[in-house]
Amino acid sequence: MVRLRRMDSRGAPARLRDTPSWLLNSVAVVAQRLVTEGLGAQGARRYHYSLLAALEEFGPASQADLGRRGGVDRSDVVATVNELSERGFVQRAPDPGDRRRNVVTLTEAGAAHLRHLADVLAGAQDALLAPLAGGEREELVRMLTKVLEHHS
């Protein structure tokens, strides 16, 4: 299990505490810890969730496409697909159009596991955003999406 140092915003200089970049990074550290711990308790990692979600939304894909869609580095895709395949969550087969590459498909067990992990992830989101009311959460997501889309 990955252990990330807890942030104590009170000990940071005001010059840092008042900058959006520092605040975003500090919250990201907390979010990473909550997600890592939640998924880890289920024997899963963020990469597992990302690849399963990409397969559910976009359908079967080559490992390269799957990595791009799931935001997983190419060097980690094969190992992650191996882990998911060993647990029966995905199937990998040669691409009929290009036998040099594999096509990965979500299994029924993988779809069920994804639904379970989505519940775990929702719990992590609730823990992260506990001090915010529903409307504030929606507004935060809207604003963060706007900033991210601007820089994408």
Domain-by-domain residue ranges, the chain? 1-41, 43-123
Q: Thinking of the domain 43-123, which architecture would CATH place it in?
A: Orthogonal Bundle (1.10)
Model pLDDT for residues 87-96, shown as the tens digit of each residue? 999 999 998 8
Q: Which amino acid is at 65?
A: D
Contact yes or no for 116/76 (Cβ under 8 A): no
Structure tokens belonging to residue 60: 């079967």
Q: What are phi and psi of 104, to 5 degrees?
A: -105, 135
Q: Which amino acid is at 134?
A: G
Model pLDDT for residues 1-58, shown as the tens digit of each residue? 444 444 556 678 888 888 999 999 999 999 999 999 999 999 999 999 999 999 999 9
| Mean confidence (pLDDT) of the chain | 92
Bridge partners of residue 105, in order along the sequence: 91
- Angle CA(25)–CA(21)–CA(138) in degrees, nearest 5? 75
